[in-house]
């Protein structure tokens, strides 16, 4: 080799090694801007088994919805809450799962915010790179379809496409397949997460209304394995007791 080339070859080699090492070590870990960083494990702070509006009132139900709600309350009091899907390990549905007293882990990517609920090991994806299809084009399901965008440091999520098998809370507040859930999710401080939830469902409510829930950060906590069907004879078709 011509000696005059040697320094160039050495430099090129060193660059290649550094670049190669860089590629090998590089890991695509997304770091959200600090204000938008909602990642971590969170736990609901108060009992929301019978949700109320921001004003502390019962949501404004239509007459038919009020009758369903009253029937649900009666069946709960009688000890046979047949309306309650989780009695047979079916999903809570959304947004009821938000009110469960179990931790929620939030994971963030540029195009998706993922909520992992410990209860029923249920995931919910909020897609940041799409818009909601028309309701008529959607197949109803338990958790709906969620899309979102950032408004400053607030995650704004819109969810629709629900079946009408679930209730909004454990008490039995009903909803229809036309429900649309809007959320504004943000950190109030480093360890407190707030979700202001607005429900629009003209078949159930005379006007849209909002409620609010806060979550506390759970440092170092890992989600446990929650398997409803492992302990629920009704869900397994096995004799109870």
Residues making contact with another protein (CB under 8 A): 23-30, 39, 88-91, 107-109, 112, 114, 116, 120-123, 125, 127, 129-131, 133, 137-139, 141-143, 145, 147, 161, 222-223, 225, 227-230, 235-237
Sign of the CA dihedral 29, 33, 36, 37? positive
Kindly give, in sequence order, each residue whose CB lies less than 8 Å from that of residue 147, ignoring residues fewer than 6 positions away. Answer: 126, 127, 128, 130, 131, 132, 157, 158, 159
The residue among 54, 72, 64, 52 whose CA lies nearest residue 203 is 64
Least distance CB 116 / another protein (angstroms): 6
**Given the complex with another protein, which of 10 and 17 has the nearer CB atom?**
17
Least distance CB 208 / another protein (angstroms): 25
Least distance CB 26 / another protein (angstroms): 5
Kindly give, in sequence order, each residue whose CB lies less than 8 Å from that of residue 209, ignoring residues fewer than 6 positions away. Answer: 53, 54, 59, 60, 198, 199
**Given the complex with another protein, which of 121 and 216 has the nearer CB atom?**
121
Least distance CB 123 / another protein (angstroms): 5
**Given the complex with another protein, which of 142 and 205 has the nearer CB atom?**
142
Matching residue, tokens 């004003």? 55
Least distance CB 43 / another protein (angstroms): 17
**Given the complex with another protein, which of 161 and 172 has the nearer CB atom?**
161
Output the DSSP codes for 3-22.
Answer: GGGHHHHHHHHHHHHHHHHH
| Residue 92 near residue 86 (C-beta atoms within 8 A) | yes
| Rounded distance between C-alpha atoms, residue 95 and residue 201, angstroms | 13
Q: Which helix (H) or strand (E) holds 130?
A: none
**Given the complex with another protein, which of 80 and 121 has the nearer CB atom?**
121
């Amino acid at each position: 080799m011509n000696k005059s080339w040697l320094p160039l070859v050495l430099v090129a080699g060193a660059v290649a090694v550094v670049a190669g090492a860089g590629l090998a070590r590089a890991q695509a870990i997304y770091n959200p801007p600090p204000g938008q960083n909602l990642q971590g494990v969170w736990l609901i702070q108060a009992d929301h088994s019978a949700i109320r509006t921001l004003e502390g009132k019962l949501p404004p139900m239509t007459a038919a919805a009020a009758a369903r709600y009253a029937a649900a309350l009666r069946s709960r009091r009688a000890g046979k809450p047949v309306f309650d899907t989780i009695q047979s390990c079916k999903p809570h549905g959304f947004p009821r799962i938000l009110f469960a007293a179990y931790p929620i882990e939030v994971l963030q990517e540029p195009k998706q915010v993922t909520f992992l609920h410990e209860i029923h090991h249920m995931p919910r994806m909020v897609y940041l790179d799409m818009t909601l299809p028309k309701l008529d084009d959607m197949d109803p399901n338990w958790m709906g379809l969620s899309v979102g965008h950032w408004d400053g440091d607030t995650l704004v999520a819109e969810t629709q496409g629900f079946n009408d098998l679930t209730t909004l809370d454990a008490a039995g507040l009903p909803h229809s397949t036309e429900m649309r859930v809007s959320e504004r999710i943000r950190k109030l401080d480093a360890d407190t997460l707030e979700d202001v939830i607005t429900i629009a469902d003209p078949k159930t409510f005379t006007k849209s209304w909002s409620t609010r829930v806060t979550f506390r950060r759970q440092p170092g906590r890992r989600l446990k394995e929650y398997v409803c069907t492992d302990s629920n004879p009704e869900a397994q078709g096995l004799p109870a007791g």
